[in-house]
Chain A
Amino acid sequence: MIENHMTIMLVVLPMLAAPLIALLPSKNLSWGLAILTATLQLYLAVNVLLDVQGGTAIHYELGGWAPPWGISYRLDSLNGLMALLVCLINFVCLLYAKASIEAEIPGRKLGLFYATWQLVVTGLLGIVLTGDIFNLFVFLEISSLSTYALIGMGRQRQALMAAFQYLLSGTLGASFFLIGVGLCYAATGTLNMQDLASQIGQSDQPMTLYSGFAFLFTGLLLKAAIYPLHAWLPNVYQFSPQAVSALLSATSTKVALYVVVRCLLDVFGVEFSLSRLFADLLLLAGSLAILFGSLRAIQQTDLKRLLAYSSIAQLGYSVVGLGLLTVTGLSGALVHLFNHGITKAALFMGAGMLALGPGTTLLTRLAGGTHRPWLLLLFLTGGLSLIGFPGTVGFISKWMLALAAIEQGHWWLLVVILLGSLLAILYVWKFIETLYFVPQNPPETSTGPVPGRGMWLACGLLCLAIVYFGLDTRFTLGVAMDAARQLLGVHP
């Protein structure tokens, strides 16, 4: 019985936990319940992913209503991987959040913080698992609204403005998505993804469908911060509470990009959506993102902002992989979503640990961090992964993407990918140098809160994951290849 409901439990658990957490009297209890939920979810996510390995899919009909009338949930390798990413990051970030967030947010608000956090996770998992496109919109808004609230809790007052800006631009993106859904509905009369997929070819209103397609995707690309639509991201990542930056950087843009992949390949289908021009557009946008993001990252003087721009660049890699439209490229893109997720989360956590004392992430204020040599290890691992150094996860994704670029004879793309790595060295070096080789003047005596054990544990876990999945790719790359084959309809 339970097994049948495992999929939906992933979404329902945090939704139920959220109000309970808000009501619990002490911050430790709230956190305890949150981490308990997260652990359960992680267990469930691993289980369902194991269930769908090898190409089967789980269908779940909400309330017993069969699609296209009822809402159905569908789980295959693709969203199984994403669900695992969200649950994993959620778990690790919660581990980290305890000590980190208590230094940033007054104690009476902590219950609400964890409750909101659960809502973000509910929304993200809902997006990942749902098979209904309007339901997806609702979850998108659930996660976005709770995200705005979390961002607004940042320690500096700029966080409020960042949250407000994100609210405006995020709603803009979601609205475009909604317009797109409406137009598609007008053309096909259905909201269920699979049903939609079967209707696409037969629609008698192709113009409406194309407009819907265009609106839907631009809205999603905005949520995913893909190159020309990335402008909202740096402020958000810079001013959020530390744990929230880590959570968002690893999940929210990734999940949005997942929706792009799902809609593009599964719903609209390769022939419909990826006429050559559109695929080339993705390649171009991705390449520009890689170059632009890396160059801007080099210019930054704030560690978290630098990481934010690097995120824009790294998302570009996934977009490039998507635009290549081959199994190699797509699996590279998908595995990069996962790989970059854990890498960036680790780096934001490191930044948060440095910021505990000074309360800012300005690089000049963080200089001379030699008193924490372990953090250097974290920054090195994460930084090397951003560069794409072999032995880290970053290498795996870039290797796949580079291979895919050569397969297609896109030499310029290979140059862009490698150039991106070289630029990454510069910005990675920039923060490592400032943090560890520039003596601070005057030397700041490191008082203030010391990173808690949970923070170290979380960082350690992610670092291990970066190296482990960099050396043993059977699991991550295997699932990504499965998903890519399914999406492109290629059978091994």
Chain B
Amino acid sequence: MMAEYPPFLNFYLAALFYLLLSPLFGPRLRFLLPLVPLLSLGQLIILSPDASWSWQLASLSMEWLRVDKLSLLFGYLFHLAAFIGFVYALHVKDTLQQVSALLYAGSALGAVFSGDLLSLFLFWEMMAVSSSGLVFARQTQTARGAGIRYLIVQVLSGVLLLSGALVQFQQTGTLRFDAMQADGIAGGLILFAFGIKCAFPLLHNWLVDAYPESTASGTLFLSAFTTKVAVYALARGFAGTELLVYIGAIMTCFPIFYAVIENDLRRVLAYSLINQLGFMVCGVGLGTALALNGAVAHAFADVIFKGLLFMSMGAVLHRVGHTLGSDLGGLHKTMPKSTLLCIIGAGSISAFPLFSGFVTKSMIMSAMIEAGHDWLWLALLFASAGVFHHAGIKIPFFAFFAHDRGLRPKEAPVHMLFAMSMSAFLCLLIGMFPQLLYRLLPWQMNYWPYDLTHTLTQLQLLFFSALAFVWLNKQGIYPPELRSVNLDSDWLYRKYLPNMARWLWSVREFTQPGIARVQSVILRPFSHQSGLTAFDTSQLLLKLLLGLAILIGIGLLSSDLFN
């Protein structure tokens, strides 16, 4: 009975204690951090399945603990991710990062155990704020810029969710978070909110903008939680929404083009994150038991293998100081262990048989065929080949092999290697014994990935993709890594809107003298000097009197006498 409280409290309390105790114990305290998810996981495991916990807020009941198989699966996953993350981040002595990470992981847990939209919104926003701390922690000018853009988009998503919740509350009188209809204002707003966090096409830019700007360990945390919470929310709220299948298919395809020409390898991974999310969104959209299982299972596997890839790039960042493909190469000579672990991650994301990606992605692919979306299935197949191309080959190749740039960094620190090894182990474990994961899945299904057809076709697809890579490289067609930025939808708000604002400003500048002249003519009897400073009492009084006159005028006009 003692254990029946929402697990996010473990993390929030840990954050509070960390903040309180860090002045006393200093950064030594960080060695305790990996214990937090472990202990919390223990609590989660003994949590009884019908536990609930709610909080009364202004005539609304906020349900902070709703336990079912779906939320439990994500609960386990987030604990695992947090544990790996804190082990990986043992070198970080920055209180801001540690506390942000604790709060962030806690909020993600809070979100998946939320039973109503208001609580979901609460944790949704907590995630936004705490995770932006991880971006800002990089302490560079670009990180600050990316961080504020990230924060605004995330909060915008929260605001949309809140609006949707408000409308739903107004219309139905309940805030319960269950399956919803995407048509109608409430559902539409909420889907839009989820879509932002899930990086739907054109709403995806915050992800590729901010994730690569975070610190080595920050990106790891970021990649684990926000988007997966969004997948969870979609799976719970909008399972079987046909629209999502199409959105998902687009999401799998368009980022791979960007990934091929992107130079920053962590940004490549960010694009490939969207691509993987696309598979999950497809699965949610299909809505069959197999597809939904595939979606959440793929989310599970993705957190681990994408984390592994981000960790290996983080190790490069930690040792070399950047992850630009154009300036890397030959690192395998001094970082062989990282190289090997990175390749395991690459194998998983490419869905090689015996790696975790294969056993989860094939569920979605099979469900796609069962549902009769032939063309979309082809698109997904194309994306699968593409994933291998940019994440499976490009990442390890350009970072650890390719041209030797003479970089001779040290091997990654022990704790990083340990964290990466854990992930790699899990990738292989799930890949080889998929029933371990399948048993946890929320819906009933009967599926086995390792039949001849699946294994053979997948191998053929991947090997010939690799062949294409080799061939293109030999022919010199393969685009070289170049230092550059590629335009994406963020151009709209990073270039177009500022330019518009500048243009408007120049119009203002142009008209300003005219306005000033008119002003000075009107105010001449009262002005002793031009220029509006803080202490122009006359201006102040004039403004006030003008306001008084207007209000009195309207007040009188509004009276019955004139109506």
Contact = CB atoms under 8 A, between A and B. Distances in A.
Contacts of B320: none
A490 to B, nearest CB: 15
A403 B152 contact: no
A234 B139 CA distance: 33
B487 interface: no
A207 interface: yes
Given A406-B167, A422-B152, A425-B155, A231 B543 contact: yes
Interface stretch (B40-48, B65-73, B195-203, B533-541): B533-541
B494 to A, nearest CB: 16
A11 B530 CA distance: 46
Question: Main SS of chain B's interface residues?
Answer: helix
Nearest to A370: B96
A162 B534 CA distance: 9
Interface in A229-245: 229, 231-232, 234-235
A406 B164 CA distance: 11
A477 interface: yes
A429 B162 contact: no
A222 B122 contact: no
A281 B553 CA distance: 12
Given A228-B547, A406-B166, A437-B139, A214 B555 contact: yes
A473 B56 CA distance: 9
A425 B559 CA distance: 39
B6 to A, nearest CB: 14
Contacts of B155: 387, 421-422, 425
B556 A214 contact: yes
Contacts of B156: 422
Nearest to A380: B129
Contact of A228 (B57, B121, B148, B550): B550
Contacts of A477: 58
Interface in A330-384: 373, 377, 384
A99 B290 CA distance: 66
B561 interface: yes
A192 B358 CA distance: 81
B170 interface: yes
A275 interface: yes
A440 interface: no
Contacts of A292: none
A220 B185 CA distance: 40
B554 interface: yes
Nearest to A232: B540
Contacts of A185: none
Contacts of A281: 551, 554-555, 558
A483 interface: no
Contact of B166 (A162, A211, A403): A403
A456 to B, nearest CB: 14
Contacts of A278: 554-555, 558
A250 interface: no
A169 B544 contact: yes
B55 interface: yes
Contacts of A194: none
Given A214-B555, A218-B551, A231 B544 contact: yes
Contacts of A210: 555-556, 559, 561
Interface residues of A, number: 61
A228 B559 contact: no
A391 interface: yes
A427 interface: no
A158 interface: yes
A295 interface: no
A204 interface: no
A367 to B, nearest CB: 13
B529 to A, nearest CB: 15
Nearest to A395: B122
Interface string B326-368: 0000000000000000000000000000000000000000000
A60 interface: no
Contact of A429 (B121, B148, B559, B561): B148
A161 interface: yes
Contacts of A165: 535, 537, 540
A217 B548 CA distance: 9
B61 interface: no
A158 B166 contact: no
Contacts of B561: 206-207, 210
Contacts of A161: 535, 537
B533 to A, nearest CB: 10
A302 to B, nearest CB: 10
A31 to B, nearest CB: 30
A214 B562 CA distance: 14
Contacts of A258: none
A215 B506 CA distance: 41
B344 to A, nearest CB: 37
A214 B551 contact: yes
A46 interface: no
Given A228-B543, A422-B156, 9 more contacts: A161-B535, A169-B541, A172-B545, A222-B547, A229-B551, A278-B555, A384-B129, A418-B163, A437-B136
Interface of A: 158, 161-162, 164-165, 168-169, 172-173, 176, 206-207, 210-211, 213-215, 217-219, 221-222, 228-229, 231-232, 234-235, 275-278, 281, 373, 377, 384, 387, 389-391, 396, 399-400, 402-403, 406-407, 414, 418, 421-422, 425-426, 429, 433, 437, 471-474, 477
28 contacts: A164-B537, A165-B540, A168-B541, A169-B541, A172-B541, A210-B559, A214-B551, A214-B552, A214-B555, A217-B551, A221-B551, A222-B548, A229-B544, A229-B551, A231-B540, A231-B543, A231-B547, A389-B129, A391-B126, A399-B58, A400-B58, A403-B169, A407-B170, A414-B163, A414-B166, A471-B57, A472-B57, A477-B58
